Structure 1
Amino acid sequence: MFLEYFRLTLKNIRHRRMRSWLTILGIIIGVAAVVSLISIGQGLQNAISAQFSQLGTETILVVPKGLQGPPSGSTGITTDDVKTLEKMPYFDFVTPVDLNTGQVEYKRETKFIQVIGFPTSNAEKRFEGQNFAIAEGRYFNSGEKYGAILGYKTAKSGFEKEVLVRSRIKINGVDFTVDGIFNQMGNPSNDNAIYISIDTARTVFNKPNDVSEIILRVKPGTDIAVVSDNIKRELKRARGNENFDVFTPDQILKQASTVLGIVQLILVGIAAISLLVGAIGIMNTMYTSVLERTKEIGIMKAIGATNYDIGFIFLTESGVLGLIGGTIGVIIGSGVAELVGAVAKASGFGLLLIILDPVVIGGALLFAFVIGALSGLMPARHAASLQPVEALRYE
C-alpha cells in the first residue's frame, strides 16, 4: 500500500514539475547552507585543535593583555619579563618571540612578509618542541646573527623564483643568509614567515626591549595549572601591574571554540530561515494541490478511499518534497564544504580538513522530510475532511 502511495506521489510531483521545483527551492538552499556551515565549522574546530596541539600540552603562553597588545599608557611584554621567568624553576625553555612585518628583498623582488625573532641558543630543541622540522638546510647556530630560516610557502612560492638554502635575502635593508627551510606545517602563520635571531630582530625593527609573546616549555611532571598561577603572581609582583595574559593551549582552544561555536550557531540560525520559507512554500503548494484535486479526492472516496488514505497521500507528497529538497541540499552543501576545503588547502591552510559527518547528513535529510511532512499536515487534514458528494460537485 505504501509503495502505491509513493508512486502516486511521484506522479503528482512530475505532473506539476515546475511548481514542485520552485516549492523545494527554499528547502534546498536552507539544507545546503546548514550542511556546508556545520561541516566547515567542524573543519575549523579541528584546524584550531591541530594548530594549538603544535604547542604541546606542556606549554604555557604569556602575551600582552587581550592578545592584541597592551592597553593605552601601559607597557607590553619586555625582556625584563623574560628574565623574571628564567629565574623560575619550572621550565626547560623560556622562549621569547618577536613578531614583525618586514620588507624582504630577494633577487630584486620585494615583498612584505612576517618576520619572527627567535632565540638562536638551543634553536633545534626549541623549534622541535613546537613541532617544527627542517626540510632543507639547518637550524640556527648559537649566537648566529644574520641567518634566516624560511617557512615552506615563503621559500617555495613567496617570490617568483624559489628561495634556496644559502641564498641571500634582505630584510629592511639588512643582508641575511638562508640557513634552512621548514617542512610545510599547514598553518599560514608559520608557512609564510621568516625566522631570524631575536637579538637581530630587535635591532632591525628598532624594538630593543619589546617581546610579542613568551613560550614556556614546562618540565615533565609539573602541574601546569599550578605553574600558570605562579607565573601570574610572579609577573604581577615584578611588573607592578596585570597587563598580561597567561594561557595554556587548553584555555586558548576552549576560548576559540566558544567563539567559533557562537558564530556558527548564528550563521546556521540565519540559514534556517530558508528552511522556514521552504516549509511555508510546501504548505502553500499542498493547499493549492488540494483545491486542484478536489474532484479527484471525491472520486477516490466514492470508490472506497478512507479519510486516512486521502490524508496519508498528501502527507506523503509533502514529505517527499521535503526529502527531495533535502537530498539536493545535502549534495550541494557537501560540495560547497569540500570546495572551501580545497581552496583553503591551495592557499596554504592545510590544517582545515573538511569532515562530512554522517550524523549531520542523516539529520539534515530527516529534518527536511519531517519539516516537509509537517508543512503538509494541515492541507492533508483539509483534504481528508472533504465530503465525497461536495467534492464530486466541485468545479
Structure 2
Amino acid sequence: MIYQFFILTLNNLRYRQLRSWLTALGIVIGVAMILALLLLGSGLRAAVAGQLQQFGSDLIYVLPGEEGNPIMSAILGDALRDKDAAAVREVAGVETAMPIVERLSMMEFGGQQKTINLHAQPLEEMKIVFEGSQGFRLSEGRWPASEHSREIILGHSVAYKRFDEDARLGDEVIVHGRKFTVVGIMKLIGEETHDRSVFISLENFRSLTGVRDNIRSIVVKAEPGLSLDDLAEDIRYRLEQQVGLERFSVFTSGKAARLVGNIIGVLELALSAIASVALLVGGIGIMNTMYMSVMERTRDIGV
C-alpha cells in the first residue's frame, strides 16, 4: 500500500511538473533566505570585531556630533577643535590623544592622477597609537622623520593597486600639488578606506590645505590598567566644560562594538521579515498544490 502511494505521488509530480517545481522553488528560496540571514549576521559581527581589534582594546574614540548618530553628524560637517584635543590630553589616565583630520585629495604618481583619502595626525601620537595597534603597522619603511619633513606613508592599496605602477620606498609622489618622498608603506588592513589612504603629519596637512580646527575624530590611548568606561566618563565631563563645544560623542571599543551590533541587529530583523515572507509564499504554494490535488482526485472519483 505504501509503495502504491509513493508511485501515485511520483506520477502526480510528473503530471504537474511546473506546479511541483514552483512549489519546490518557494521552499528553497525561503530556506536560502534564512541561511543567508544567519551567514550575513555572523559575518558582519566577525568583521566588526576584527576591525576593532586592529585598533586595539585600550582606545577611546571622541567624535563630533550627537551621541545617537555621530557618524552622520561628522558627514554633515560637525568637527572638533585643537583645544578640544588639548583638553582631552589633560585628563588623568590619558597616555596620548591623537586628533585625526581627513579629506579627499589628488595624488600624482607614474604619470597618473588618482583620488585618495588624505589622512593626517600628529607624528608622535601616530607612532604611539599605530605601533600599539594590530592593524595599523608598517609593512616596510619607517615613519616620517619630523612634522615638517616632506615624507609620506602610503596605504597598501595606494602603493600596489591604485596606480598602474607599484610605488616603492624612495619614490616621489605629488599630493595636493606638493612633492613628497615615500618613506613607508602600511600593511594590508582589509578596510578599503584606510588601505586607499595616504598618511602625513598634521602640520604638513595644514600647510597644504590651510585648514585648521577641522578635526574629525580624536583617538585616545589609555594608560595601562585603567577602566576605559571610567576614563571615557572623565573625558566626557572634561569636554562638557569646553566653551563652544555642544555636540560630541565618546566611545570605548566595547561601546562601539555594541552600537554596531545594534545596527546589525536591526538589519537581521529586516532580513528575518523578508525570509518570513519567502517562507509564507512557499507555504501558500504547498497548500495550493495540496488543495488542487485533492480537488482533482475528487473529480476523478466523482464525489
Q: Distance in 2 between matches of 1:238 and 1:23?
A: 65
How far did residue 75 of structure 1 move?
A: 6.8
Tell me whether 1:255 sits opposite 2:259 in the alignment: yes
Deviates more, 1:47-56 or 1:168-177: 47-56
| Residues 10, 80 of structure 1: alpha-carbon distance in 2 compared, 3 angstrom cutoff | same
**8 A contact 1:116–1:193 mirrored in 2:** yes
**8 A contact 2:63–2:249 mirrored in 1:** yes
**8 A contact 1:41–1:260 mirrored in 2:** yes
Percentage of identical aligned residues: 32
Letter in 2 for 1:88: V
Q: Distance in 2 between matches of 1:83 and 1:49?
A: 30
Cα-to-partner distance string for 1:285-339 (whole Å, 9 max, x where unaligned): 111112223488xxxxxxxxxxxxxxxxxxxxxxxxxxxxxxxxxxxxxxxxxxx
| Paired residue secondary structure (1:163) | coil
Cα-to-partner distance string for 1:221-274 (whole Å, 9 max, x where unaligned): 111111111111111113354321111111111111111211221133123212
Q: Give the alignment of 1:297-316 within 5 angstroms.
A: none
Root-mean-square deviation (CA, aligned residues, Å) is 2.5
Tell me whether 1:287 sits opposite 2:291 in the alignment: yes
| Residues 151, 71 of structure 1: alpha-carbon distance in 2 compared, 3 angstrom cutoff | closer
* Greater strand fraction, Structure 1 or Structure 2: 2
**8 A contact 1:102–1:112 mirrored in 2:** yes
Number of residues of Structure 1 aligned to a counterpart in Structure 2: 298
TM-score normalized with structure 2 length: 0.89
- The residue that corresponds to 1:236 in the other structure is 240
How far did residue 139 of structure 1 move?
A: 2.0
- The residue that corresponds to 1:58 in the other structure is 58
- The residue that corresponds to 2:142 in the other structure is 138
Tell me whether 1:106 sits opposite 2:84 in the alignment: no
Q: For structure 2, which runs of at least 5 residues remain unmatched after alignment?
A: none
- The residue that corresponds to 1:340 in the other structure is none
Cα-to-partner distance string for 1:86-121 (whole Å, 9 max, x where unaligned): 222312221111111111111221111101002222
TM-score normalized with structure 1 length: 0.69
How far did residue 6 of structure 1 move?
A: 5.7
| Residues 5, 253 of structure 1: alpha-carbon distance in 2 compared, 3 angstrom cutoff | farther
Cα-to-partner distance string for 1:16-73 (whole Å, 9 max, x where unaligned): 332210222222222223322331232112111111222222110011112344699x
Letter in 2 for 1:44: L
**8 A contact 2:147–2:204 mirrored in 1:** no
Q: Distance in 2 between matches of 1:107 and 1:268?
A: 49
Q: Give the alignment of 1:11-50 within 5 angstroms.
A: 11-50=11-50
Cα-to-partner distance string for 1:155-195 (whole Å, 9 max, x where unaligned): 11011111111111111101111111111111112211110
Q: Give the alignment of 1:144-163 within 5 angstroms.
A: 144-163=148-167
**8 A contact 2:156–2:188 mirrored in 1:** yes
| Paired residue secondary structure (1:54) | helix
Q: Distance in 1 between matches of 2:144 and 2:235?
A: 29
Q: Distance in 2 between matches of 1:70 and 1:174?
A: 27
Q: Give the alignment of 1:222-371 within 5 angstroms.
A: 222-294=226-298
Match of 1:191 among 184, 190, 195: 195
How far did residue 204 of structure 1 move?
A: 1.4
| Residues 237, 102 of structure 1: alpha-carbon distance in 2 compared, 3 angstrom cutoff | same
**8 A contact 1:166–1:177 mirrored in 2:** yes
Deviates more, 1:28-37 or 1:101-110: 28-37
| Paired residue secondary structure (2:55) | coil
- The residue that corresponds to 1:202 in the other structure is 206
Q: For structure 1, which runs of at least 5 residues remain unmatched after alignment?
A: 297-390
